[in-house]
Amino acid sequence: MAEIKKVVLAYSGGLDTSIILRWLQEQYQCEVVTFTADIGQGEELEPARAKAQAMGVKDIFIDDLREEFVRDFVYPQFRANALYEGEYLLGTSIARPLIAKRLVEIAEMTGADAIAHGATGKGNDQVRFELGAYALKPGIRVIAPWREWQLNSREALMNYAREHDIPVDFAKVGSKSPYSMDANLLHISYEGGGLEDPWWQPEESMWRWTLAPEQAKDQAETIELSYERGDIVAINGQAMSPAEVLGWLNRKGGEHGIGRLDLVENRYVGMKSRGCYETPGGTIMLKAHRAIESITLDREVAHLKDELMPRYASLIYNGYWWSPERLMLQTMIDQSQASVNGVVRVKLYKGNVMVVGRRSADSLFDASIATFEDDRGAYNQKDAEGFIRLNGLRLRIAAAKGRSMR
């Protein structure tokens, strides 16, 4: 196997990736390039630069990817109304293909032989990072330290940091949240700690983005979301960029206690895992997008989208964003959104998102036909008799042959 001279590390500046940085330097005797992505996690990222510099890193990339993240990854996902296992809005999953893409780009820019990540051998993220990297650069080598080293406990990691002079604030590490957390502009997730007991109810202090519905405002708030080709382009008439839209909806949804989820999901690697998620903006977006589609999409197009959605969501969850089948589905989904234009009005109140109005110049809703009043001949109700008899023909034939369902 060829010697590795340079590796690009997905680096957060935290304990785990700081240890990985030093471990790569010592284990592979290679130069390490660090890449830190700003995808809206809400943390100060410049300290990661100082830590990397203190550990001898020369090439340090800290990239603001917030607009690209929402525009090219979150928005396409919401055009599909994607939900994994009927509930999960894929907040962690959808960020991984972007990080994999940027890791590969930096590897090409710097002439690196490999990329490295801090995902464990038990989780989904290792699959997502690596499938994305291989799809974009087939010959890339991937180093996953958690699958190689023997540092299998928090104590072992702390001891390694002390022994190798890794700049870590041990007091801060010791007082950190008991949960493994991941945050970006779409969501924040919590795993581990007490959540490993599916019966255990997390304490209220765990939640960071949302108020409990009981503590949320006593007054409902109504907002209007403007759509063009399936994407939100303005809120209450004010034009916003994709990242601005999601940030605004996160704040507003959090104030109203919207977007909490406690879920036991099936990981791609085979085990069940319990996680808690806060996705306030995404919860509003999903409800509103289905509302604007309800008046602008043809019935069979809408139903076909719903049939394909679970497959599309699984592709994202399992790490196949860059696969030909996801790209094929995306082409179909995006084509369906050409007429998904208009405005949706939603009411936010104590954990609920209620659609209270929708309008569109491309609406297929025809009040002159659907009315319960005099439709002046727009719809001939006598036509329904033949329609029902033809659709019931096979049922009548089966019943006549003694195949009654009674």
Q: Is residue 308 domain-resident?
A: no
pLDDT beyond 80 at 336: yes
Specify the pLDDT at position 374.
87
User: pTM of the predicted model, to two decimals?
Assistant: 0.94
CA 85 to chain centre: 13
- Considering the domain architecture, whether residues 132 and 68 belong to the same structural domain is answered as yes
- Considering the domain architecture, whether residues 154 and 218 belong to the same structural domain is answered as no
- Considering the domain architecture, whether residues 259 and 381 belong to the same structural domain is answered as no
The encoded tokens of residue 33 equal 């390039």
Q: How many other CB atoms are found less than 10 A from the CB of residue 266?
A: 13
Domain of residue 229 covers 183-297+340-359
- Give the span between the Cα atoms of 282 and 351, in whole angstroms: 13
Confidence of residue 173 (pLDDT cuts 50, 70, 90): low
Distant-in-sequence, close-in-space partners of 105: CB < 8 Å, separation ≥ 6: none
pLDDT beyond 60 at 141: yes
pLDDT digits (tens, 9 = 90+) for 4-16: 999 999 999 888 9
Q: Is residue 282 domain-resident?
A: yes
pLDDT digits (tens, 9 = 90+) for 276-318: 999 999 999 999 999 999 999 999 999 999 999 999 999 999 9
Specify the pLDDT at position 2.
66
How many structural domains is the chain composed of?
3
Provide Rg for the chain, Cα atoms: 25
Domain of residue 243, CATH code: 3.90.1260.10
Q: Is residue 166 domain-resident?
A: yes
Specify the pLDDT at position 125.
96
Specify the pLDDT at position 165.
83
pLDDT digits (tens, 9 = 90+) for 205-255: 999 999 999 999 999 999 999 999 999 999 999 999 999 999 999 999 999
- Give the span between the Cα atoms of 154 and 303, in whole angstroms: 48
Give catalytic residues, as residue numbers.
Answer: 16, 96, 125, 180
User: Which domain-ending residue is among 176, 196, 228?
Assistant: 176
- Considering the domain architecture, whether residues 281 and 395 belong to the same structural domain is answered as no
Specify the pLDDT at position 62.
97
